[in-house]
Structure 1
Amino acid sequence: MATRRGRPTQAEAKKLDLAVREAAVATFLEMGYAGASMEAIARAAGITKRSLYARYPDKRAVFADVIPWALARYTDDGSIDEIDDDDLETALLAVGRAALTRATHPENVRLKRIAFNEAAQFPEFNVSAESMMWAGRQRAVTELLRRYEQRGTIKVDDLELAAEHFLAMVEAVPARMADFGVFRSKKQQERHLQFAVRLFLRGVMPR
């Protein structure tokens, strides 16, 4: 006689929650908000509708949870500690390349479109899709700049604002172009990045 399985472990529950979120994101990307359904999300996650409803009361609640989560998970540009920061220009180029890759990733672009299209229905999205994706990168760049300021390599009055401007120079235009389906070549993208980094360095180096 088979024994009845008890409650899932914390690790199992966490793994299932992640699977449900990923399935929901995939469903919204494929069908859009209007076309998606709780049944489709449950089917994609490999769970019953009852199990899905135990987690979320309706499709709106699923969307409000998983879209900000999906956008935010792409803000992790890796640990700044792993970047070779002997040279500030090299470090900024490394951060910039990671930021550009994430900002123009096709799935990110599609997620932003969905978020913007449905934003009027979701006042809980109290920040824009760009902000959801940008916050982590800004913290990373701020921390990087703080290291160099402490060494006396650069002089910056407002580190957070400087990090914001750096990201705007690096990724704002390529990301907006991607929103309209226009993607630069790798060569064009690298040229854009290197120019932005050099221009930014001129502004933060001590006079």
Structure 2
Amino acid sequence: MSDPLSARRPALRMPRPDKSARPLDMANPCLHGRKRRCGRPTSHDTEELDQYLLEIAAGLFVQHGYAGTSIDQIARKASASKQTLYRRYPSKEALFVAVIMDLTGSLLQAMAEISLKDPLEELRKISRMKLEFTLRPEALGIYRILISDGHRHPSLLRQVVEAIGEPFHNAFIRLLRAAEQQGQIEPGHADDTTAHLLTGMITGWPKDNCLCGETTLETSEERQAYFEHAWAFFLRAVGGKPRSPEPQPV
């Protein structure tokens, strides 16, 4: 199965609302400490509330797990009504998937903007981003949830894979095929197996260690050194030939 947490949008991160000005319920708006006003909330208010609800939900899911978190808990923590949440997400499952999409936004956006001019370099950049994302505390918390609760909620796991894992894996395949066509890697390596092996080599050991509570690659320098070693190993395995720098005009 493809790694389910690989993933779009750089998260157009909206400024975080002032958390001293709760409650934030669009049915009775008190955004920014303002008194109740007539008319519909502005799009900016709605975006702020959307982002705030996702952040509250993410924190509770990571803290209590999927089964241990309810829509009622999230609504109480956010000082919002359950109707506010259900207007946006028809189920807890849909909210959980939205939380993951929000967390993986920068990866998903990077994939959407892939250029095939230098596919091997694009593959390198996205692989490095994936290592950084995988070791984020929020991402590790989501991985733990999928490991502990995924077998109880197969439809949840399937949605996560379809929404995130498959697009990420398909982007790897697309870049490998383009690299093969441009002679950047040897023929015969642009396949599912190579994509899975690359993902496992870049994130497998660090992720497993962190999930088991080990301290791994804490600093940016350590992560960069590990990545460069793994990437060099991958290039040797596929006969990688990075594009030569274009000559600069005199």
Q: How many residues are aligned here?
A: 197
Matched, 1:98 2:129: yes
Matched, 1:176 2:208: yes
Cα-to-partner distance string for 1:20-39 (whole Å, 9 max, x where unaligned)? 33322222223434553433
Q: Does the 8 Å contact 1:97/1:193 carry over to 2?
A: yes
Change (3 A) 1:126 1:111: closer
- The equivalent of 1:27 in structure 2 is 60
- The equivalent of 1:66 in structure 2 is 95
Cα-to-partner distance string for 1:55-106 (whole Å, 9 max, x where unaligned)? 567xxx31x223333334424262333x9838x4x54443332111011111
Residue segments in structure 2 that go unaligned for 5+ positions in a row: 1-35, 241-250
CA distance in structure 2 between the aligned counterparts of 1:56 and 1:97, rounded to whole angstroms: 32
Change (3 A) 1:50 1:152: closer
CA distance in structure 2 between the aligned counterparts of 1:29 and 1:116, rounded to whole angstroms: 12
- The equivalent of 2:186 in structure 1 is 155
Q: Report which of the two has the higher share of helix.
A: 1
Deviation, structure 1 residue 202: 2.2
Question: SS of 2:65's equivalent?
Answer: helix
- The equivalent of 2:76 in structure 1 is 43
RMSD: 3.6
Change (3 A) 1:42 1:185: closer
CA distance in structure 2 between the aligned counterparts of 1:72 and 1:121, rounded to whole angstroms: 21
Change (3 A) 1:49 1:97: same
Matched, 1:194 2:223: no
CA distance in structure 1 between the aligned counterparts of 2:131 and 2:166, rounded to whole angstroms: 14
Residue segments in structure 1 that go unaligned for 5+ positions in a row: none
Percent of matched pairs sharing the same residue: 25
CA distance in structure 1 between the aligned counterparts of 2:232 and 2:109, rounded to whole angstroms: 21
CA distance in structure 2 between the aligned counterparts of 1:114 and 1:12, rounded to whole angstroms: 31
CA distance in structure 1 between the aligned counterparts of 2:43 and 2:202, rounded to whole angstroms: 41
CA distance in structure 2 between the aligned counterparts of 1:112 and 1:70, rounded to whole angstroms: 13
Change (3 A) 1:130 1:104: farther
For 1:118-133, what aligned pairs fall within 5 Å after superposition? Answer: 118-127=149-158
Change (3 A) 1:130 1:181: farther
| Letter of the 2:201 counterpart | M
Deviation, structure 1 residue 168: 1.3
Deviation, structure 1 residue 174: 0.9
TM-score for the superposition, normalised by structure 1: 0.72
Q: Does the 8 Å contact 1:67/1:111 carry over to 2?
A: no
Of 123, 131, 146, the residue aligned with 2:177 is: 146
CA distance in structure 1 between the aligned counterparts of 2:227 and 2:109, rounded to whole angstroms: 16
TM-score for the superposition, normalised by structure 2: 0.62
Q: Does the 8 Å contact 2:150/2:157 carry over to 1?
A: no
Deviation, structure 1 residue 151: 1.5
- The equivalent of 2:12 in structure 1 is none
CA distance in structure 1 between the aligned counterparts of 2:161 and 2:222, rounded to whole angstroms: 22
Cα-to-partner distance string for 1:100-151 (whole Å, 9 max, x where unaligned)? 1011111100111123222233121344978875434323332332332222
- The equivalent of 1:135 in structure 2 is 166
CA distance in structure 2 between the aligned counterparts of 1:56 and 1:70, rounded to whole angstroms: 11
